[in-house]
Structure 1
Amino acid sequence: MFRSPILSYTPHGLSNAILLPSVMKFNRSANLRKYAEVTIACGAPVGKDDNETAQNGVDFICELSKTVGIPQKLSDLNIPQNAVDGMAKAAMEVQRLLKNNPREVTEQDARDIYNSLY
């Protein structure tokens, strides 16, 4: 998973929790089997195949995030949408995290993920 340095003033766990559902949506296709296994471990519904099961896991995490009160929008943290370009650019500089991400992340991908949180 990657994390933008611009979110560094936000507690680490909170910024990860806010980004987790969107990053999972992005990364799911990179390893459906692994996401399906996580789904099963979470006790979320098993689907007809790994694709559906993995999606059920992403949906489960999205609902869990809402249920436990994680802010759903970056604007909830007073981060303006016009900061997205800078956040995406900064995220590309954190190579130690990007190289471990299961899917290659472009600056546009990062921008799309951040924009999905508005």
Structure 2
Amino acid sequence: MSSGSAIRGSRVGSSPMRPDERTEPAPRRQVTYFCSAGHDSIIWFAAEAAIPETWDCPRCGQPAGLDSSNPPGRARTEPYKSHLAYVKERRSEEDAAAILAEALAKVRQRRGE
């Protein structure tokens, strides 16, 4: 038996089969952003929305700006850091040795050594 609240024959978020004659879309404006790779992206915003200075390029992911003659530079990617690199940023060698000695002492105590 199906639920009485289910809407049959449509999916969530689907648009109506035909546009309603009594409605009109909200006013909007298009803004063109330019990235350093030479891509230009047209983004639509609501007419009253604040326009951001930069936008991520949908093609390459780099920052794009409003000025076609002076697009923002490529984003600097941070190198991958392992878990050990983050631990070494937080702890000194002396701290690490003390923590290791404490952990080894607990293990030896449990084993009865």
Q: TM-score normalized by structure 2?
A: 0.18
Q: TM-score normalized by structure 1?
A: 0.18
Greater helix content: 1
Greater strand content: 2
